[in-house]
Amino acid sequence: MALTREQIVKDIQAFIAEDRVITEEEVLKENSVDRFRKYETIHGIYTQPLPAAVVKVKDEQEVSDLLRYMNDNGINAVPRTGGSATEGGLETAVENSIVIDGSGMDEIVSIDPYDMLATVKCGVPLEVLEDKLREQGLTTGHSPQSKPLAQMGGLVATRSIGQLSTLYGGIEDMVIGLEAVFPNGEVTKIRNIPRRAAGPDIRHVIIGNEGALCYITEVTVKVFKYQPDNNRYFGYLLDDMKKGFEILREVMVQGYRPSVARLYDPEDGADHFDFSKGKCVLIFMVEGPKALAEVTGAAIEEIVSEHGPAEQVESRLIQNWFENLNWDPAKVLEERKEIKETNNIGFTTEVSGTWGVIHDIYERCIKRVREEIPHITMLGGHSSHSYMNGTNMYFVYYYDLVDIKPEEEITKYHYPINKIIVEETIKAGGSMVHHHGVGKHRTPWIKEEYGSSYYILETLKQAFDPKGIMNKGTIFPKEDK
């Protein structure tokens, strides 16, 4: 028979200090959701089953003891660190879940400027690590817009990516070693090695698991030299997205690696830049050793000029935009206030595709959302992470909420928009999720996303979480284990 919430709390308090097993209703409410449900929560409505407790763990041994107890008793675990998730990964989808909050595990274990490694516990905020590294002339190279909000465990668990990804890569390119705890209590450590060929790369079982396979307790990332004096910014106004994608592709396939390479469509451009004049905005930033930055900058200018007329934007405007891009807690509060006042809300859906399909994905999604969804007040998007073989598309959309109850926002607007973007992307051969994770709300398409390789993904779940206690409904649809 399932344990009562009171019994679960009492049992956990027997091995974890009482003041770190939190049962206050307000805390439970806040920990039952993430930003996917921001409209409901702004109105004080919480539709997910409240967890039995939020447990603030202090080390890997506690995580191990807790997970073993939960596994033995069939209790759902929702791992959490920075709480900036956007796709429902933090929703407590079943009764009497326990939220395992690792934000107190915030020790920077070591910074090694010779082997160029930094080891941190899962609750270290990225911004804290980055500031510490910069004091020593180093950087993580990781700069997601959520840098002031997110913590290292969550960043690794979601396969996050930063604005400088074209040079430094996504988090998967940065992680060297890891420690993670599995539901049976097994604490596993993957050593810090520059590369090895001793079988498959098991780091990738952990990176991107979204708390659905294991709990990440420690991360080692590579670090880079921080050389901001060499940064250069470039901006151009273009007439159409097709030309922008062609320029991005050319820069990539010729082998240049700017840190930032971005292309905004006119609507999204107008939202970000007061100089956009209703055109597409193409942006590059180059950095690194001076000579490399200069060569990369010169090559970008040449490639752009070969693609016909493009109005150049003053570089200080691009620099100024870049330096004010990130979201901190104050901006989150400001957004909530604005939504409440205006009843207008914005979300994003990010996908990816090869160069051959990305423009079609962009056009089809925009056309269908415009035709099929009511009350849209802004619809646009940008490409922000490019690769040799393709790029991503980050769709941005705002709508007025007309004649609905707060809890209907998701079904009337957000789901139908997500559905169009995901369907069109998968149909064209792209991926339905570029960097926010699957969370709980893109699971209906997970089998289509993977095709025959879903066998591999599903087998990981069966092997590592046979009782299905890890973050039920995340990555894997709720009815499956």
Ligand X SMILES: Cc1cc2nc3c(=O)[nH]c(=O)nc-3n(C[C@H](O)[C@H](O)[C@H](O)COP(=O)(O)OP(=O)(O)OC[C@H]3O[C@@H](n4cnc5c(N)ncnc54)[C@H](O)[C@@H]3O)c2cc1C
Instruction: Rank residues 146 and 259 by Cβ distance to ligand X and give the closer one.
Output: 146
Q: Does 146 bind ligand X (CB under 6 A)?
A: yes
Question: Residue 126 CB, nearest distance to ligand X (Å)?
Answer: 8
Instruction: Rank residues 12 and 238 by Cβ distance to ligand X and give the closer one.
Output: 12
Q: Specify whether the CB–CB gap between 243 and 326 falls below 8 A.
A: no
Q: Specify whether the CB–CB gap between 171 and 156 falls below 8 A.
A: yes
**Which residue from 144, 235, 266, 430 is in contact with ligand X, where contact means CB under 6 A?**
144
Q: Hey, which residues does 353 pair with through a beta bridge? A: 391
Instruction: Rank residues 121 and 279 by Cβ distance to ligand X and give the closer one.
Output: 121
Q: Find the part of the chain contacting ligand X (CB under 6 A) among 38-46, 142-150, 351-359, 420-428.
A: 142-150
Closest of 246, 79, 256, 87 to residue 167, by C-alpha: 256
Q: Specify whether the CB–CB gap between 248 and 263 falls below 8 A.
A: yes
Structure tokens at 443: 């699971």
- Stretch (H or E) spanning 278: none
Q: Does 76 bind ligand X (CB under 6 A)?
A: no
Question: Residue 122 CB, nearest distance to ligand X (Å)?
Answer: 4
**Which residue from 32, 48, 71, 151 is in contact with ligand X, where contact means CB under 6 A?**
151
Q: Does 276 bind ligand X (CB under 6 A)?
A: no
Q: Does 57 bind ligand X (CB under 6 A)?
A: no
Q: Does 82 bind ligand X (CB under 6 A)?
A: yes
Structure tokens at 405: 């109850």
Question: Residue 8 CB, nearest distance to ligand X (Å)?
Answer: 19
- List all residues 6 or more positions away from 61 whose beta carbon is below 8 Å from its beta carbon: 187
Instruction: Rank residues 153 and 244 by Cβ distance to ligand X and give the closer one.
Output: 153
Window 411 to 440, contacts with ligand X (CB under 6 A): 435-437
Question: Residue 281 CB, nearest distance to ligand X (Å)?
Answer: 18
d(CA 149, CA 112): 25
Question: Residue 171 CB, nearest distance to ligand X (Å)?
Answer: 8
Closest of 87, 114, 31 to residue 351, by C-alpha: 87
Window 294 to 333, contacts with ligand X (CB under 6 A): 327
Q: Specify whether the CB–CB gap between 137 and 226 falls below 8 A.
A: yes
Window 195 to 234, contacts with ligand X (CB under 6 A): 210-211, 215-216
Rounded to 5 degrees, φ, ψ at 412 are: -80, -35
Q: Does 165 bind ligand X (CB under 6 A)?
A: no
d(CA 323, CA 383): 19
Window 452 to 471, contacts with ligand X (CB under 6 A): 471
Question: Residue 85 CB, nearest distance to ligand X (Å)?
Answer: 3
Question: Residue 394 CB, nearest distance to ligand X (Å)?
Answer: 9
Instruction: Rank residues 149 and 366 by Cβ distance to ligand X and give the closer one.
Output: 149
Q: Specify whether the CB–CB gap between 341 and 333 falls below 8 A.
A: no
**Which residue from 150, 410, 420, 426 is in contact with ligand X, where contact means CB under 6 A?**
150
Q: Does 474 bind ligand X (CB under 6 A)?
A: yes
- List all residues 6 or more positions away from 92 whose beta carbon is below 8 Å from its beta carbon: 31, 32, 48, 49, 50, 51, 76, 78, 99
- Stretch (H or E) spanning 61: helix 60-73
Instruction: Rank residues 297 and 380 by Cβ distance to ligand X and give the closer one.
Output: 380
Q: Find the part of the chain contacting ligand X (CB under 6 A) among 5-13, 148-156, 225-233, 267-275.
A: 148-156
Q: Does 154 bind ligand X (CB under 6 A)?
A: yes
Strands 53-56 and 98-101: parallel
Q: Does 83 bind ligand X (CB under 6 A)?
A: yes
d(CA 173, CA 390): 17
d(CA 124, CA 105): 7
Strands 187-190 and 53-56: unpaired
Q: Does 119 bind ligand X (CB under 6 A)?
A: no
Strands 98-101 and 77-80: parallel
Question: Residue 150 CB, nearest distance to ligand X (Å)?
Answer: 4
Q: Does 409 bind ligand X (CB under 6 A)?
A: no
Q: Find the part of the chain contacting ligand X (CB under 6 A) among 143-151, 186-194, 234-242, 396-404.
A: 143-151
Q: Specify whether the CB–CB gap between 313 and 235 falls below 8 A.
A: yes
- Chain residues binding ligand X by CB under 6 A are 34-35, 78-86, 89-90, 102, 122, 144-146, 149-151, 153-155, 157-158, 160-161, 210-211, 215-216, 327, 435-437, 471, 474
